[in-house]
Amino acid sequence: MDIAGRVALVTGGGAGIGRATAVRLAQDGAAVCVADVDETGGRETAAQIEARAGSAFCVRADVSLEADVRAMIDSTVTELGGLDILVNNAGIVATPAFPDAEPGEWMRVLDVNLRGPMLGTHYAIRAMRERGGGAIVNIASLAGIGLGPHDSPDYAASKAALARFSAALAPLRETDGIRVNCVCPDWVDTPMSQRTRARMTPEEHAALVPPGILAPDEIAEAAVELIRDDSLAGRVMACWCGEPRSLLPVPDWS
């Protein structure tokens, strides 16, 4: 897909990976809707895009709420004329995590990290069908890859489900011209990551956080790669610190 002239929507676009992705898509010629529950951050991102002669506007949206998700899709279509690209980036982590967090706290993690992208994808598909297709990228995490222990089981479970959800939608390329893919980053230098690392002891930090932490721009570049490559659908891209990004192999179920 050629990004120039397209319409994109980025959730969690007020900071971190979302901001980097929104700015990058605008630089590549897309008109961008920046959605975030933090309206101030979203407006700052939109302002950065406009300062560089890009086209953008901001909408406040809590992606865990169906009405908000439906409204952000409708606003994008109304303001920008349609929808071609969706990046489901909004995500949170609970502190403390499961099982020490109260059920409402870890359920909120599942609602934002999994329910949100599923709602976004649901309503985006309807809008993209009107355009003859589109591209959706879900931002998950390497926390959801593999079967090892994790210090935030609720977060890891939500990201594992998001990666599997993305892969399961591969047939949409053939039926609707809509490609759904997923990026799974390692540690990224975002405000959420910075808060998590600030709570760690030096020993915990050394054990969990690799050297050479990823920049948000690197994840934006991964998302752009998946958007541009029309051959990719239902694929999961791993972004390890200090290593080239790579597509995870597709299991052979035969």
Residues tagged active-site: 155
User: Which residue, 6, 17, 14, is CA-closest to 55?
Assistant: 6
b/e string for 224-241 if b means 16 or more Cβ within 10 A? Answer: bbbbeeeebbbbbbbbbb
Asked if 7 and 87 touch (Cβ cutoff 8 Å), the reply is no
Q: How far apart are the first and last CA of the chain?
A: 31
Alpha carbon distance 6, 121 (integer Å):
17
Bridge partners of 239? 185
Alpha carbon distance 166, 202 (integer Å):
35
Helices (H) and strands (E) in the chain, counts: 10, 8
Asked if 70 and 123 touch (Cβ cutoff 8 Å), the reply is yes
User: Which residue, 132, 76, 88, is CA-closest to 114?
Assistant: 88
Asked if 178 and 135 touch (Cβ cutoff 8 Å), the reply is yes
